[in-house]
């Protein structure tokens, strides 16, 4: 029998009850009193929001505050005593000007009150989940989530006396049926890996309101450029900053953004887990975010053109890309993503994994590597990378077919990318006329 909101609320742990009753007003941030440029568009926010121009030296741009600790003063002591330690510079794991600066830029891009940056995407994910749960809690999530997240939910929650149910990321009836009296979180990815299924965020938010739950969305594949989950009613949004937010394949990081009230709740969990972002990495991430909107426009446009080319190629069996009319959820993509789509493509090549491996070797521009979201195109086979931990039967069950390839489209000139695929596919299939 379906549970009512009242029934679930009565069974919630005391921690959530007192937390919801807190009345202290919180400001945005914490902040270095920088301008968020809230009335400006994405490129302007990307460049200017959160940047700290040093008043003493006149340095243009946020310096690297490579220090572990800060002088204590009366303000510091008062903040510690009153539980406001997050709003003072005390110790770099607690907060650092380099962290505050990039967090403000992220908050501007996410339309969030507050953000925290982490040492990795998994540090952000595990902190966001554990920070919102208590003993006995239950999570509803997706079978299609990132392998690291799946393993954390499947293998580790039980150690904390918690549980998880995995469902289809697009079947709202199945998601609702999985909700239990002790469910606290609905955790999904806005665009799944590697089959690029779009999670219907507004429908999931409606479920959360019906049953009094929190929604956490991993928005790594789409980024706040393509969709802002917080604007759709999501409670917390997480990203692997390693990917598109950074965009240069040269750092590891994670982010969480949301209301100040909820992010403050995660901050103590981050302190205990120890996953804070190093000041130098903060500098690199803030530098990279200045070109974020510029890069995303090119990722999106290149991916759409390349997906169209691949769909029309006689030796490509199927293309998974939400910007194509052939995608099962193209209508949802047009409304939820407002036509911006994605920089990711997955496709199946005729001849299966044998030809897929050949293609990866013959391409000159896309690099055969894990990860995604870099300025360079990256290409891999899900069966031996992201979904390698699954059996062949499990892979088939979730749609990982023979010859499936995942492509993170970079910002190279699209004519060069298309020509590269043309020469590689031509070489493979000129020797195999039965596939032509």
Catalytically annotated residues: 93, 146, 218, 243
Strand duo 344-349 + 254-258: pairing: unpaired
Contacts (Cβ under 8 Å, ≥6 apart) of 272:
none
Collapse the DSSP code of 349 into the 3-class scheme (helix H, G, I; strand E, B; otherwise coil) and give the result: strand
Q: What is the CA radius of gyration of the chain?
A: 22
Contacts (Cβ under 8 Å, ≥6 apart) of 176:
2, 207
Structure tokens at 142: 């997706």
Angle at 243 between CA 379 and CA 311, to 5 degrees: 40
Residue 432 CA to residue 124 CA, distance in Å, equals: 47
Sheet with 254-258, strands from edge to edge, namely: 114-118, 254-258, 236-240, 214-218, 183-189, 138-142, 163-167
Contacts (Cβ under 8 Å, ≥6 apart) of 111:
224, 228, 230, 231
Helix (H) or strand (E) holding 5: helix 5-10
The DSSP result for 273-288, as a single string, is HT-BPPHHHHHHHHHH
The answer to whether the beta carbons of residues 178 and 165 sit under 8 Å apart is yes
The answer to whether the beta carbons of residues 124 and 132 sit under 8 Å apart is no
Collapse the DSSP code of 377 into the 3-class scheme (helix H, G, I; strand E, B; otherwise coil) and give the result: coil
């Amino acid at each position: 029998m379906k549970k009512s909101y009242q029934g679930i609320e009565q069974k919630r742990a005391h921690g959530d009850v007192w937390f919801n009753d807190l009345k202290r007003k919180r400001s945005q941030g914490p902040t270095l009193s920088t301008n968020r440029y809230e009335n400006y568009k994405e490129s302007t926010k990307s460049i200017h929001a959160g940047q700290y121009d040093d008043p003493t030296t006149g340095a243009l741009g946020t310096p690297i505050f490579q220090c572990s600790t800060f002088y204590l003063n009366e303000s510091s002591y008062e903040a510690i005593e009153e539980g406001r330690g997050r709003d003072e510079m005390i110790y770099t794991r607690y907060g650092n000007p380099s962290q505050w600066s990039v967090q403000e830029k992220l908050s501007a891009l996410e339309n969030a009150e507050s953000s925290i940056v982490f040492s990795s995407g998994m540090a952000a994910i595990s902190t966001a989940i554990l920070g919102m749960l208590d003993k006995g809690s239950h999570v509803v999530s997706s079978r299609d989530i990132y392998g690291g997240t799946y393993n954390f939910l499947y293998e580790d929650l039980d150690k904390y006396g918690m549980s998880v149910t995995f469902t289809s990321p697009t079947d709202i009836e199945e998601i609702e049926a999985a909700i239990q009296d002790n469910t606290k979180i609905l955790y999904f990815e806005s665009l799944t890996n590697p089959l690029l299924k779009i999670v219907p965020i507004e429908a999931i938010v409606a479920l959360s309101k019906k049953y009094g739950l929190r929604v956490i969305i991993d928005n790594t594949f789409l980024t706040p450029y393509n969709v802002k989950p917080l604007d759709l009613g999501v409670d917390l949004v997480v990203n692997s900053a390693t990917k598109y937010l950074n965009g240069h394949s040269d750092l590891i990081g994670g982010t969480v953004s949301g209301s100040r009230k909820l992010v403050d709740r995660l901050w103590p969990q981050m302190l205990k887990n120890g996953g804070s972002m190093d000041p130098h990495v903060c500098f690199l991430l803030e530098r990279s975010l200045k070109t974020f909107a510029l890069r995303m426009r090119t990722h999106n446009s290149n991916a759409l053109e390349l997906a169209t080319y691949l769909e029309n190629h006689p030796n490509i069996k199927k293309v998974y890309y939400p910007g194509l009319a052939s995608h099962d959820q193209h209508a949802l993509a047009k409304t939820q993503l407002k036509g911006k789509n994605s920089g990711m493509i997955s496709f199946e090549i005729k001849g299966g994994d044998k030809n897929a491996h050949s293609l990866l070797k013959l391409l000159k521009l896309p690099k055969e590597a894990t990860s995604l979201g870099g300025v360079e195109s990256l290409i891999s086979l899900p069966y031996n990378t992201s979904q390698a931990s699954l059996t062949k039967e499990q892979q088939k069950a979730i749609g990982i077919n023979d010859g499936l390839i995942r492509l993170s489209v970079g910002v190279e000139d699209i004519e060069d990318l298309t020509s590269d695929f043309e020469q590689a596919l031509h070489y493979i299939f000129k020797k195999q006329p039965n596939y032509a």
